Amino acid sequence: MVILTKLMMIFLVCLSLTLKANESEQNQAEVPQVKKRKGEIFISDLASPFQTNARFIVYGGVLATSLAYFNQKNQTYRKRESLKDAQPLGNTGFIGDIIGYGVLNIGYIAWATWYGHHYEDSQMKKNAELMARATLYATGTTMVFKSVIKEKRPGYPDDENSFPSGHSSASFSFASVIAARHGWGYGGAAYALAGFIAVSRVNDDFHYLHDILAGITIGASFGWGVHYNMQKGNNSWFTLMPTPNRGAGIAMGWSF
């Protein structure tokens, strides 16, 4: 229960920072929208966690990740004890493992793309593009960190893909986009589901606490950061559309 309490406290802190970022962005004076080139939008999206008020999420996430890391370094870790004494989710962690592989993100992108084109709903088309952009940046950033840092998983020392958690970054980019575009009713439920996915990774010994906190930070900061970019008129550098007369599918095109 101790680890679950810590995770809940950290989750609430991250949520409050997200709300602060959203409030600060809304209170800013409107700036004239300047049309950018596709390449400039790509760079702007990539830097959005630092160039928008999503930076509040980055600051809090880096602090929480650092504290968790140095706390973990002072503890002796043994897998058997971890699995026996610190499994807040019991045997249900496999659910988070399955849906954490981008299932939520891909499902939303497919549904919003189809809905937007079928009903000529431009807002839903933008929502699909936002989810795709946020997921792409969050996942790409996570993979870069994994390939550079090569931290061994706590329960699987032959696997060097522990830091940061890809499941956490993908699920929190999903939840952040839902909160940004559909309000905090749906957003709260999405964050709860993302929190379950993140905790499941510690529960099943795939990650340390600092791994999932880093993933949460990456996912949430890109979810909100790219959202703020789109509010400023920085439209997508690629286009999503359903594939006509060829069954279920989505076509994507991009340009620079």
Q: What are phi and psi of 50, to 5 degrees?
A: -110, -25
Q: HSE of 31 in the Cβ direction (CA atoms, 13 Å)? A: 13
Indicate the SS3 state at residue 241.
Answer: strand
Give the residue from 164, 246, 161 showing the smallest Cα distance to 209: 164
Each residue's pLDDT tens digit, 233-256: 766 555 555 655 555 455 555 444
Domains of the chain: 35-74+98-236 (1.20.144)
Q: For residue 82, name the pLDDT band (cuts at 50, 70, 90).
A: very low
**What does the alpha-carbon distance between residue 165 and residue 204 come to, in Å, rounded to a whole number?**
13
Each residue's pLDDT tens digit, 103-125: 999 999 999 999 999 999 999 99
